[in-house]
Copies of this chain bind each other. A is one copy, B any other.
């Protein structure tokens, strides 16, 4: 309940879990980071980090209008800052709404190792998809 697996192609491919069960209105993406998610330097690929952050932030936006976290929001813009290398093990991305109105929301997110060390932060602008676009 509230844990979403394999619901989209990308989620199945990369292997993360989307958790919209928290009562704080914030969605989380959990990934057991392994060799499949690394880059040439054997650290977490920046694009995988962006994927987890984008999804946690978009689902957090969705939770503001839909308790199942499934109403789609389109990402207009996403900025990721890479603070420290990500290493194999459990990592979690989490979103937070910072502002916005009825259709456009501003979010921030962070991605951390299990021990709490920050890997990356992100901010972005998301827009609620209209029914006809779903």
Residue in contact with A39 in the complex, picked from B10, B48, B81, B83, CB distance below 8 Å: B10
Contact B51 A8 (CB under 8 A): no
The contact size tier of chain A is 35 or more
Contact A99 B83 (CB under 8 A): yes
Interface residues of A in 61-85 (CB under 8 A from B): 70, 72, 74-84
Number of copies: 4
A98 and B118 contact, Cβ closer than 8 Å, known pairs A10-B36, A46-B75? yes
Contact B76 A39 (CB under 8 A): no
- The smallest C-beta distance from A106 to any residue of chain B, in angstroms, reads 5
Contact A48 B10 (CB under 8 A): yes
- The smallest C-beta distance from A9 to any residue of chain B, in angstroms, reads 4
Interface residues of A in 4-61 (CB under 8 A from B): 7-10, 12-14, 34-41, 45-48, 50-55, 58
Chain B neighbourhood of A123, CB < 8 A = 77, 79, 81, 121, 123
Question: Who on chain B is nearest to A101 by CB?
Answer: B84
Interface residues of A in 93-112 (CB under 8 A from B): 98-100, 104, 106, 108
- Taking Cβ atoms with an 8 Å cutoff, the residues of A that contact B are 7-10, 12-14, 34-41, 45-48, 50-55, 58, 70, 72, 74-84, 98-100, 104, 106, 108, 118, 121, 123-125, 127, 129, 133-134
